[in-house]
Amino acid sequence: MIPVELILLALSPLFLGFIGWEWYRSRNKVPAIYRWQDSLANAVLALLHQASDMIALILLMPFFLWLYQWRIFTVEMSVFSVIAMFLLQDFLYYWFHRASHHVRWLWASHVTHHSSRQMNFSTALRQSLTYPLSGMWLFWTPMILLGFDPKTVFAVVALNLAFQFFVHTQVVEKLGILEWLFNTPSHHRVHHACNALYIDKNFAGVLIIWDRLFGTFVAEQDAEPCRYGITDDFNSDNPITITFYEWRNMLTEFTTANSNRQRFNVLFGAPKRRETPNPQK
């Protein structure tokens, strides 16, 4: 079993416990934070995502090990190297996440995560099985070339993603001084919101410092409650429809494009979004 999958599978009971706690705490809230159809779709999408990631890592690990032969340094494990690896991976995650909102090929996978009109712990499980196809793994190759062991790199990736589970909630308020350094539920509610003020903000994985440094930070504002979902008029609980929604749109536009330049822009240009987000229904 690949370490990445072991980490996430080992944490699954903890994730389920927090989902149950959040559902119980919010059960009388209006509008409802949970819909069972949405949560079931999230669970199916999580299983599909884990299966595709496992297959992709098995197929790609020989490439990563080959690439490791061309490393610039050999990084030995120490307190310093672990801290450096954590910071570098979180920095690279920020740029992967930011690119996933600005390059349509990447957005075609990432839109799955944003497509729910709910925001709760189960939303963290709403991932696409097409991430390996869109090339998420490419963003970790600089770490391997610098000399970090591939298996350790992907273990750190898994821990980063595990942390992000805990920022998908509406029942945790702002966390004081922690808001300045870490990605928090408040910051991530902004990221999932389709309000014009909040779109394409707060790309952090663990540390919010990258957003503050590179001008993509917006604080959650009481005067502007978050509305969740995507700006398209999309609402589905079918995992297959959710997964391939943007891929289908992109393929249709690609096949009807009139030039190679248009085809390139369809695949790698900015995602098409409506200027005025739909109100949450």
- Residues 6 or more apart whose Cβ sits within 8 Å of residue 135: 105, 106
| Cα–Cα distance, 259 to 267 (Å, whole number) | 13
pLDDT attached to residue 31: 85
pLDDT (tens, 9 = 90+) of the chain, 281 residues, equals 345 557 777 788 999 999 999 999 998 887 889 999 999 999 999 999 999 998 998 999 999 999 999 999 999 989 999 999 999 999 999 999 999 999 999 999 999 999 999 999 999 999 999 999 999 999 999 999 999 999 899 999 999 999 999 999 999 999 999 999 999 999 999 999 999 999 999 999 999 999 999 999 999 999 999 999 999 888 899 999 999 999 999 999 999 999 999 999 999 999 986 544 444 44
Token output for 181? 């350094």
- Number of C-alpha atoms within 13 angstroms, CB side, residue 150? 19
Q: What is the pLDDT of residues 178-225, one digit of tens each?
A: 999 999 999 999 999 999 999 999 999 999 999 999 999 999 999 999
| Cα–Cα distance, 67 to 205 (Å, whole number) | 25
State phi, psi for 82 to the nearest 5 degrees. Answer: -65, -45
189 by DSSP, 3-state: which? helix
- Number of C-alpha atoms within 13 angstroms, CB side, residue 103? 13
Burial class (CB within 10 angstroms; exposed 0-12, middle 13-18, buried 19+) of 109: buried
pLDDT attached to residue 5: 59
Mean pLDDT score across all residues of the chain = 92
Do the Cβ atoms of 190 and 220 come closer than 8 Å? Answer: yes
pLDDT attached to residue 277: 46
pLDDT attached to residue 10: 79
Mind spelling out the 3-state secondary structure of 152-171?
A: HHHHHHHHHHHHHHCCCCCC
